[in-house]
Structure formats: C-alpha cells, structure tokens
C-alpha cells in the first residue's frame, strides 16, 4: 500500500501534498459532539475503543484527508500512572494527585502499558475500520509536556511549579522525565504493534524553555524516544512537534526523526533554509485562518504551499489544533484546496 502521507515523510514521490489536521476529530464536528454525549464525557470516549474508532473515522468519512489520527489524549500515560485525570468543563485537564515530592516520582511505575490496553484496542479497531483508506497516526506527549501537566496539576500559563523544580532540583525533574521517556517508548512500541503506521510526539510546551533548557529537559528525552522506538521499528516514520520550537529545528532534525512539525510563527521557506530537506516538514497554516471566508482560506493555502520548494517532504497541517468554533465547511475547503493546488 502506498500512501502520500507516508511517502512524504520518507521523502519519496507523492501524487500531491498530503494533509491531515491536528484535532481533526473534535468539537467543531456536530457528529463528534453527538458521540461524546453518548459516551458521557471525554475520557469515557477515549476509554471506549468502539466509540474512539467512531470519532476517529468521522473526519475521514467527511473529508478527503490523507491520514487518520488515533482518537485519544496525551494525558493517558499520567492517568495510568495513578494521578487521577479528569476534565472540568471550560478549564481543561486536571489531576487529582499531582506530582509534588521526590517520593511521588519514585512511586511512579516506569511502564504502564497494562493500564492502557484500551488505547491499543482502539488502535487495532481503527486499523480494521480504515482498511486501505488511509494510514493511522499513533501519538504520545513528550516527557517535558507531560511533566508540566503532572506537576502543575493541569494547564498553566507560567509553569511556576515545573520551572521551580527545574531550577531548584533538576535531578528530581530528570528522574521524572526519564521515567516518562521509558513509558512513552513502551507505549509507542505497543501502538505500532497494534497497527499504527506512523507516530507523532506532541511537545506542546517545549517552546516555553530557554535554548539550553529545551535541549536538556525536552529534546534529549524526545531523542531517547526516537532512538528507542527506531531500534524496534526502523521503518515507522516519527514526527516531532515542539510548539514554538522554530528556533530549535536544526537540533530537532538531527535526532533521527523523519518529520518536524512547525507552527505558524516561522515560514516554510525559512525552515528550508535552516534544515534543508534533511527531514520532512509538517505544517503550518495559522489555525485562525479557519475563521476567514473560503476565498481567504484558499489564498492562504496557496501561500503556504508556494513557500515549500522541495519536490516532496511536505505534509500540510495547521500549526496547531483546529478550534471548536470553526465551520466544518471550511475544513472541506482547506483539504480540497491543498489537493487541488498541489496536484502534480
Ligand atoms: O488530533 C486529533 O484529532 C487526535 C486526538 C487528540 C486529542 N488530544 C483529542 C482531544 C490529540 C492528538 C490530543 C493531544 C493533546 N492533548 C495535547 C497535545 C496537542 C496540543 O493540543 O498541543 C495536549 C496538550 C492535550 C491535553 C488536552 N486534552 C487539552 C489541553 C485539552 C483541551 C481541553 C479543552 O476543553 O479544550 C484536551 C481535551 C481534548 N483532547 C479534546 C479533544 C478532542 C477536547 C475534549 C472535549 O471533547 O471536550
């Protein structure tokens, strides 16, 4: 089976620029909201493989997307570690038992796949539903991004607790990050065994660190993950995405990953200047363009496509997830115009 999405990541020829969209299965789709209601809440949806499969397939059925992404969340690992994940309406994710002490970290198991079988069951269920229609992306959070939620107890603007630990007791933070990296390797390994065709690591908060701290506390653990997963699955493409990581693309692209995700704060032409075509590039339309008229969406798509000069190696995406208040009709405009303007 030959897929443009996989070929682009491996820098093989494609018939046109492939596109998928972060959060493509989400609240902007009325059918997603209906299934979530049926499940009760977001985590119950994640923990039900049949319903997780149903929502994964919704954007695939509606749009001509080049890849499906497992419907789940990055916080499944900390949840399985016993931190008690819940979502409070309008406030995002929260943990009942955040990490506070060294003893808390020492008590964490460094592999939690036994409590994540619902994720692997979802992967195999989705894989069967997809057949040869599209490849399936598996994913995890980066150790640094997971650690911020585990230490803050939820979302944060300042990362005060995590950064205090980073500066006051770096060894303690490293212990947590190392355990997370081991868990992520085992988790991604099992997703591939269950049927994932490619993998993505979301480092949503890597961009809040200084350069040297980014390298020490975020990238080095993603490096460990790439090395660990590639040792088992050398042919499974891995994409690393550090939001606001435009200043670190050289270092990211030297990890042995196949693709780098970029947000909209850097231009694709700058990225090509920085790293050439060493790895594939995923991105990077500003998600806010999706609030504009269809004509503007088409014009902005053209702009992004024209900035990329390579023959292959571009995976179109937004620079971050699609937001809940976008009109699904604009998603169709986005997907179709990427294909139309890039057809060879
Ligand atoms: O992209 C996809 O379609 C796959 C599914 C996916 C979700 N979350 C579904 C989701 C993926 C890949 C994620 C990753 C994720 N989760 C990240 C990294 C990516 C990023 O956005 O930077 C992060 C930081 C999380 C943690 C998390 N989960 C947050 C901050 C939120 C938002 C809370 C809110 O109310 O907006 C979630 C919830 C979440 N994850 C939703 C979805 C569809 C919305 C939940 C709902 O239905 O209410």
27 is a catalytic site residue: yes
Output the pLDDT for position 244.
97
Cβ partners under 8 Å of residue 31, min gap 6: 58, 62
86 is a catalytic site residue: no
Q: In what order do the strands lie in the sheet with 136-141?
A: 68-69, 136-141, 198-203, 238-242, 259-261, 280-285, 314-318
pLDDT single digits (tens) 65-82:
999 999 999 999 999 999
Alpha-helical segments (H) within the chain: 4-9, 30-39, 42-46, 49-62, 76-78, 102-106, 117-130, 143-152, 160-168, 170-194, 211-213, 220-232, 249-253, 268-275, 294-307, 328-342
Q: Which atom of ligand 1 is nearest to the CA of 24?
A: 3
Angle ∠(301,310,323) on CA atoms, nearest 5: 30
118 is a catalytic site residue: no
Q: Calculate how far, in angstroms, residue 90's C-alpha sits from the geometric centre of ligand 1.
A: 13
CA distance 261 to 316: 10
**pTM for the structure as a whole:** 0.97
Angle ∠(335,325,25) on CA atoms, nearest 5: 55
Q: Which helix (H) or strand (E) holds 132?
A: none
CB hemisphere CA count around 340 (13 angstroms): 10
Q: Which of 5, 23, 66, 79 is catalytic?
A: 23
73 is a catalytic site residue: yes
What's 333's DSSP letter?
H
For atom 8 of ligand 1, which residue has the closest CA?
A: 73
Q: Calculate how far, in angstroms, residue 26's C-alpha sits from the geometric centre of ligand 1.
A: 8
Which residues is 43 bridged to in the sheet? none
Q: Does residue 92 have its Cβ closer than 6 Å to ligand 1?
A: yes
Weakly modelled stretches of the chain, pLDDT under 50: none
């Amino acid at each position: 089976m030959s897929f443009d999405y996989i070929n682009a990541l491996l820098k093989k020829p494609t018939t046109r620029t492939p596109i998928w969209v972060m959060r493509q299965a989400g609240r902007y789709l009325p059918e997603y909201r209906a299934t979530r209601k049926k499940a009760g809440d977001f985590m119950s949806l994640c923990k039900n493989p049949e319903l997780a499969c149903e929502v994964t397939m919704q954007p695939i059925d509606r749009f001509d997307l080049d890849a499906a992404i497992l419907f789940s969340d990055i916080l499944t690992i900390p949840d399985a570690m016993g931190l008690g994940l819940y979502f409070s309406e309008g406030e995002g994710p929260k943990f009942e038992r955040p990490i506070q002490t060294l003893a808390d970290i020492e008590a964490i198991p460094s592999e939690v796949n036994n409590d994540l079988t619902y994720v692997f069951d979802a992967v195999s269920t989705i894989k069967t539903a997809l057949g040869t229609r599209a490849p399936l992306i598996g994913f995890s959070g980066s150790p640094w991004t997971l650690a911020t939620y585990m230490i803050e107890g939820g979302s944060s603007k300042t990362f005060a607790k995590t950064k205090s630990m980073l500066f006051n007791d770096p060894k303690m933070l490293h212990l947590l990050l190392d355990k997370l990296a081991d868990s992520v390797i085992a988790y991604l390994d099992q997703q591939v065994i269950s049927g994932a065709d490619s993998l993505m690591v979301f480092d949503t908060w890597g961009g809040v660190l200084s350069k040297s701290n980014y390298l020490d506390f975020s990238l080095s653990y993603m490096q460990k993950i790439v090395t660990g997963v590639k040792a088992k699955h050398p042919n499974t493409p891995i994409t690393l995405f550090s939001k606001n990581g435009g200043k670190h693309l050289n270092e990211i692209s030297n990890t042995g990953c196949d693709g780098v995700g970029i947000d909209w704060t850097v231009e694709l032409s700058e990225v090509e200047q920085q790293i050439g075509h060493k790895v594939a590039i995923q991105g990077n339309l500003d998600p806010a363009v999706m609030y504009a008229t269809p004509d503007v969406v088409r014009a902005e798509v053209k702009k992004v496509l024209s900035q990329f000069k390579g023959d292959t190696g571009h995976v179109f995406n937004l620079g971050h997830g699609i937001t809940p208040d976008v009109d699904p009709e604009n998603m169709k405009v986005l997907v179709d115009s990427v294909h139309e303007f890039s057809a060879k």
